[in-house]
Amino acid sequence: MTDCGCDKAKAELEEYLHRELSAQDFQDVTDHLDNCDDCSAEHLVGLTLTLKMRTACHETAPQELKAAVLAAITSR
Ligand SMILES: [Zn+2]
């Protein structure tokens, strides 16, 4: 397992939320979020905002986003 550290995770959080990272970077950030309460909390906030924005646009929230929110909550 590679842990990329808080700096990289926070720098790439926005792209992570929009699924714009490469597969490797995506995995790095995912691994870090699993192991860092601080970053996973920040990710959850970003995820919630993204979700709300999509709902505001009358788009249905993708199942994977709901699953990610649930996983973030239950992994504490
Ligand atoms: Zn972190």
**Ligand 1 center–CA 60 separation, angstroms:** 30
**Ligand 1 center–CA 2 separation, angstroms:** 13
Q: Residues with Cβ < 8 Å from 19, sequence gap 6 or more?
A: 26
**Ligand 1 center–CA 59 separation, angstroms:** 30
**Ligand 1 center–CA 41 separation, angstroms:** 9
Q: What pLDDT score does 53 carry?
A: 81
Q: What pLDDT score does 17 carry?
A: 93
For the segment 51-69, what is each residue's pLDDT rounded down to a tens digit?
888 777 666 667 777 888 8
For the segment 1-42, what is each residue's pLDDT rounded down to a tens digit?
456 699 999 999 999 999 999 999 999 999 999 999 999 999
Q: What pLDDT score does 33 carry?
A: 94
What distance in Å separates the CA atoms of residue 70 and residue 51, rounded to the nearest whole number? 13
Tokens found for residue 68: 């990610």
